[in-house]
Structure 1
Amino acid sequence: MTRQKTLRHLVACAGLLGALGGAPAHAELPDPVAQAVGQPRLAGQGQMRFLGLRIYDARLWVGPGFDAQTFGAFPLALELTYHRAFSAQAIAERSVQEIGRQRTLDAQQAARWTAALAQWLPDVQPGDRLTGLYLPAQGMRLWRGGQLLGQLSDADLAQHFFGIWLSPQTSEPRLRSALLAAVAESAP
């Protein structure tokens, strides 16, 4: 190998190592999220597509001892970076449809949860990064970048909302597997 090729190879390797191990895995999480999860690590990441269109990229952050089978017992953070624009109402309606895959919802509860999510969620544009923090038995909080947007104190809604991605009954099992990839790898 020539000296120039060796130098290019070393620069490329250094860049790869920096990308893999440079900053702490939680460097992009808002500080309150990182503190609530406690020693967060990236469990996995994936992409939501519909009819071939990129909808959002997703990353899941979990703390020590996280168990995917009982995800509702652990604080966790889910980050979505959108590639399309959606209204809060559209996201809320779709979310409640997905929750309906996990459990039976009567029309009154579905309407109540849709209204609560529509008030809590923002409209999104391509490039928006939302981070949701799930807190067991407490509810959930939401950030756009580093700015807290709000919180919901309905613990049942919160667990089912995060179940959209993490429940075995998800409509997107491949995305669930990608989000839980590092957890599955470390399991005995």
Structure 2
Amino acid sequence: MRNFFLVVSVLLFANIFFVNAKEFPNDITDYKESLNQVGQARFKVLFWNIYDSALFTPSGDFKQEEDYVFEITYLRDIEKEELIKRTVEQWQHLGLLNEDYQIYVPMLMDIWPDISEGDRLAIWVSQKGAAFYFNQQLAGVVEHKYFGKQFVAIWLSPKTSQPELRNKLLGKMPL
């Protein structure tokens, strides 16, 4: 009996930090259609269009405590190693320490595919965790409660390297 309570306690404790992949459906289409777009933005480097992005929430306003979906539609081919390299660079720009993000790099290597022009990569951030969707299909779940917010901070943090893009995603007028 004592072992039973120990096992139950460990499982309950683990549930505070981890999310079960069953929390997320295999296809994000229906859920995304139930949301309202907060804003959208195109990311360009010089004259190259890299991607279009959009932020969706239930209310149509961005609130950290609400579930949300951030989706990128790629306008060019990009290898997953390049995506991960750029993600790490942006986390460093935000001031995250190496130990704050290194645990996620192997997970992203397992989840993200190489990207072709027209592909969509979305992240559904809930209060329980985060799931990536590739072309609307579940690609993988990062089972760390705070990962989703840390990942989307690349675009939505006041410290982002792209403040104009952030303002557009949040539905604000450009400065």
TM-score, shorter chain, exceeding 0.5 = yes
Structure number having the greater helix percentage: 1
The answer for the alignment partner of 1:31 in structure 2 is: 30
The answer for the alignment partner of 1:121 in structure 2 is: 112
Aligned to 2:108, the other structure's residue is in SS state helix
Aligned to 2:71, the other structure's residue is in SS state strand
The answer for the alignment partner of 1:151 in structure 2 is: 141
Match of 2:66 among 70, 74, 78: 74
- Displacement after TM superposition at 1:122 (Å): 1.6
The answer for the alignment partner of 1:41 in structure 2 is: 36
Mapped contact 1:102–1:160 kept (Cα < 8 A): no
Unaligned runs of 5+ in 1: 1-28
The C-alpha deviation readout for 1:78-108, integer Å capped at 9, x for no partner, is 11110111122221221122122223313x4
Match of 2:103 among 81, 104, 112: 112
The answer for the alignment partner of 1:61 in structure 2 is: 56
Aligned to 2:96, the other structure's residue is in SS state coil
The answer for the alignment partner of 2:167 in structure 1 is: 177
Aligned: 1:165 with 2:165: no
Supply the AA of the counterpart residue of 2:73.
Answer: T
- Displacement after TM superposition at 1:44 (Å): 0.8
Aligned to 2:165, the other structure's residue is in SS state helix
Greater relative contact order (Cα < 8 A, sep 6+): 2
The C-alpha deviation readout for 1:108-131, integer Å capped at 9, x for no partner, is 444322222222222100011122
- Displacement after TM superposition at 1:161 (Å): 0.5
Q: How many residues align?
A: 146
Unaligned runs of 5+ in 2: 1-27
TM-score, length-normalised on structure 2?
Answer: 0.74
Percent of residue pairs identical? 27
Q: Distance in 1 between matches of 2:55 and 2:120?
A: 13
Moved over 6 A (4+): none
How well do the aligned residues superpose, as a CA RMSD in angstroms?
A: 2.0
- Displacement after TM superposition at 1:156 (Å): 2.4
Q: Distance in 1 between matches of 2:138 and 2:96?
A: 31
- Displacement after TM superposition at 1:180 (Å): 1.1
- Displacement after TM superposition at 1:65 (Å): 7.4
